[in-house]
A and B are shown apart, each in its own frame.
Chain A
Amino acid sequence: QVQLQESGPGLVKPSETLSLTCTVSGGSISSYYWSWIRQPPGKGLEWIGYINYSGSTNYNPSLKSRVTISVDTSKNQFSLKLSSVTAADTAVYYCARGGITIFGVVAEFDFWGQGTLVTVSS
């Protein structure tokens, strides 16, 4: 059974960079596509972007200028960096596994981490 676990600081100051890591266990990261998704408190879900084992990425245009997703296959991990954060970036951040469609869009998310709350505040 694939398991995903997010880790990283729970508090980030405004204008700084949010950094999170997702560790994948029970399966290889060298298959599938690995996404970050966030959920502001009490609100809906927003896809941030994905990466695959070879480092191919795709980002949500709404966040593209501030997002970097990277992968470390030797550690079975992938990471998120979101720069210049504001209070609007306060959310639970999830990592999740998906396939890829024939259109190159990440498909349904079948495994999720438990999520980690990141608060942006001074």
Chain B
Amino acid sequence: DIVMTQSPDSLAVSLGERATINCKSSHSVLYTSNNKNYLAWYQQKPGQPPKLLTHWASTRESGVPDRFSGSGSGTDFTLTISSLQAEDVAVYYCHQYYSTPPAFGPGTRVDIK
């Protein structure tokens, strides 16, 4: 099974500043034949289900603000919030769908400093 890890466990960032979340997979999730990374990012606010932010590591979903960007390849990935807003306080999860069972990272909590 592929194991997903995230760092840091939590971070506090000032409004308008950059937040960076890292995700690492125990096995590459890049399929070289199509050059796609089978990785997604989600945002979960308290009492709500996760919301899909990106798939293929960096393809932003419709309606997701462009301050959210995903990057990385292979085993190392990053979700960046370029200018943190109050409504971005949440837990963020990465998710690999390269091999079964699909697996989520443990989550990173983002708060306002």
Contact = CB atoms under 8 A, between A and B. Distances in A.
Interface of A: 44-47, 58, 60-62, 94, 96, 98, 101-110, 112-115
Given A44-B104, A46-B104, A101-B38, A110 B52 contact: yes
B103 A47 contact: yes
Contacts of B38: 101, 103, 105, 107
Nearest to A95: B49
Interface of B: 1, 31, 34, 38, 40, 42, 48-52, 55, 61, 93, 95, 97-107
Contact of B55 (A61, A106, A107): A107
Given A58-B100, A108-B95, A44 B106 contact: yes
Contact of B101 (A44, A62, A94, A110): A62
Contact of A114 (B31, B49, B61): B49
B61 A110 contact: yes
B97 A107 contact: yes
Given A44-B93, A44-B105, A101-B38, A109 B100 contact: no
